[in-house]
Amino acid sequence: MATLVHKRIVLGVTGGIAAYKSADLVRRLRDAGADVRVVMTQAATEFITPLTMQAVSGHPVHLHMLDAEAESGMGHIELARWADVVLVAPASANFIAKLAHGRADDLLSTLCLATEARMAVAPAMNQQMWQNAATQANLIAVHKNSVAVFGPASGSQACGEVGPGRMLEPTELVELTTGLFTSGSLEGLRVVVTAGPTWEAIDPVRGITNRSSGRMGYAVAEAAAEAGANVVLVSGPTMLTDPERMTIVRVSSGREMYAAVHEHISGCDIFVGVAAVCDYRPKKAAAQKLKKHADTMTIELVKNEDILASIAALAEAPFTVGFAAETENVEGYARTKLKEKAVDLIAANDVSAQGSGFESDYNRLLLVDKHGVIELPRQHKTQLARTLIECIAQKYHAKGAAQDSRYAHR
């Protein structure tokens, strides 16, 4: 079941009497687990005060484009990137018109243009305005732009008229917003994901590791769960909190990771190796802390088993996806890994690029398989993971369909 736990929602409030329901909506979104930031238009502040929205959301409300104080905290572009979903409720006829025409004359409309997050509007207006051909044309344009339209409901209106144009109730909006996160493309499938670094002990206090925050792997596991999969996340040591809705197996070394993955692989449909597994480990870890004596020291290293290649080599191998962290010749090395590890897909990134990769919230990927190359441009890791999971789902289903048709022709 989908939830809004850890989901980041920007709630846009525009001018309309239904704005009084927005405070309740914030509370209900937060009750469902979401982190909510509120952006209000000037007109919205005539109906409900920013102070109320600040109190219920627990964060300062964003009101103006050129607010030096707000921009020094979370500026509008940052807010646009931060969001998993931008929900505008209530959305006035004027705001829908602006959205349809790509206007950017205030903070909320600018943010809507700047975001890559999913978007939804909950229209609220007089029934004549709703039925007006111009509003309906604007809605079609907005819908074409992949903006979900929630409602409106029909009934008696604040203006005394009866008809369509009432904003949906907050509980209904929470349910519909939750639905935005379930693509269903991996419904019922079993997915195993590795994430984070591994720690290869030299002695009880020292070890060898790789640079990896685990964020990309966790985002991939979350995106797979969102798409309906039963997920097992095998994680090396990270500072990240355990995601909801999946089985987490915490390990330390590459050998532990290998064992945990193999323990959970039977019946698995898709394996995604995002972990930065140490290629080598000390041949023998000292039982006690090593003391310094000589000027130089040699530690003999032995190769760790390649987890990804071992999964791809299974008789009943799942659809296998590897990651490649490179500092040069990204596509070339990705192609070599695709062949050498005999995997279905390699997601490669250039870790030398500024502002993406290690310790960053952002990343870009090059997807390389036998069919060609797909470039996923720089995005927040959460969004990028979703796009990656959709690509994996498509390729997984396409491979299954190709195999089925091969059997049918025998």
Hey, which residues are catalytic here?
A: 159
Q: Which listed residue (130, 181, 323, 396) binds ligand CTP by CB under 6 A?
A: 323
From the list 55-63, 235-243, 305-313, 402-410, the region that binds ligand CTP by CB under 6 A is: 305-313
Round to whole Å and give the CA distance between 139 and 78: 27
Residue 226 phi/psi, 5-degree rounding, is -60, -35
Contact 34, 41 (CB under 8 A): no
From the list 68-76, 178-186, 270-278, 380-388, the region that binds ligand CTP by CB under 6 A is: 270-278
Contact 197, 208 (CB under 8 A): no
* Residues of span 337-356 touching ligand CTP by CB under 6 A: 337
First to last CA, the chain: 40
Q: How far is the CB of 286 from ligand CTP (least distance, A)?
A: 22
Task: Choose between 118 and 335: whose C-beta lies nearer to ligand CTP.
Answer: 335
Position of tokens 């993406």? 356
Chain-centre distance for alpha carbon 323: 17
322 binds ligand CTP (CB under 6 A): yes
Q: Which listed residue (48, 56, 268, 324) binds ligand CTP by CB under 6 A?
A: 324
Q: Which listed residue (116, 172, 279, 331) binds ligand CTP by CB under 6 A?
A: 279
Position of tokens 């080598």? 280
* Residues of span 204-263 touching ligand CTP by CB under 6 A: 254
325 binds ligand CTP (CB under 6 A): yes
Q: How far is the CB of 371 from ligand CTP (least distance, A)?
A: 19
Q: How far is the CB of 134 from ligand CTP (least distance, A)?
A: 52
Q: Which listed residue (115, 185, 304, 356) binds ligand CTP by CB under 6 A?
A: 304
Task: Choose between 109 and 320: whose C-beta lies nearer to ligand CTP.
Answer: 320
Task: Choose between 180 and 193: whose C-beta lies nearer to ligand CTP.
Answer: 193
Question: 169-181 burial by CB neighbour count: b if 16+ within 10 A, else e?
Answer: bbeebbebbbebb
Q: What does the binding site for ligand CTP look like in residue numbers (CB under 6 A)?
A: 194, 254, 273, 275, 277, 279, 304, 306-308, 322-325, 337
